[in-house]
């Protein structure tokens, strides 16, 4: 298993703090994908079936706003992960993921990930706590944004 791939997985919030052995198990269920500039990796409303890690290139996370067009929510580069909510719940994709610059991605399927966690309960426990930390961070950021919008009258 590639040491580089294990290092890259260790940078993802979902897998932060996991041992190299645990990261190697995750790397075994990962697949590499390449997408050309402008391609859609997934669309808002699609079934969420994979988590992605950007190895090279950039991905634009966006939503189509009626009457306004595409609203970019984030542009992500190497080392960033996206689509991780699909590993947690059964909801469809909440945004589009488009290739901003040709990219090489590492994908982890929901089924492969769930099987891995079922077989390795210690790994499942660690990943669960990372999910809690990640969601708590996002909730705090959302609260700060809503407070800012409320105070500035833009809400």
- pLDDT tens digit sequence for 121-154: 999 999 889 888 888 888 898 888 888 878 887 6
Is the pTM above the cut of 0.95? no
Q: What is the CATH number of the domain that holds 40?
A: 2.60.120.10
Domain hosting 48: range is 3-152
Tell which wins on pLDDT, 134 or 53. 53
Contact 136, 129 (CB under 8 A): no
Please count the structural domains in the chain. Answer: 1
C-alpha 153/C-alpha 155 separation (Å) is: 6
Mapping DSSP to helix (H, G, I), strand (E, B) and coil, where does residue 21 land?
helix
Token pair of 5, please?
A: 């791939």
């Amino acid at each position: 298993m590639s040491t580089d791939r294990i290092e890259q997985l260790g940078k993802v919030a979902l897998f932060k703090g996991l041992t190299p052995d645990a990261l190697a198990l995750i790397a075994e269920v990962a697949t590499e994908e390449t997408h050309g500039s402008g391609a859609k990796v997934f669309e808002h409303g699609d079934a969420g079936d994979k988590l992605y890690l950007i190895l090279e290139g950039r991905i634009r996370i966006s939503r189509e706003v009626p009457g306004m067009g595409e609203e970019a929510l984030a542009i992500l580069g190497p080392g960033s992960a996206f689509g991780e909510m699909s590993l947690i719940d059964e909801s469809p994709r909440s945004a589009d993921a488009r290739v901003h610059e040709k990219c090489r991605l590492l994908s982890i399927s929901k089924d492969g990930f769930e099987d891995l966690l079922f077989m390795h309960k210690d790994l499942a426990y660690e990943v669960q706590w990372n999910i809690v930390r990640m969601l708590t961070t996002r909730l705090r950021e959302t609260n700060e944004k809503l407070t800012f919008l409320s105070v500035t009258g833009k809400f």
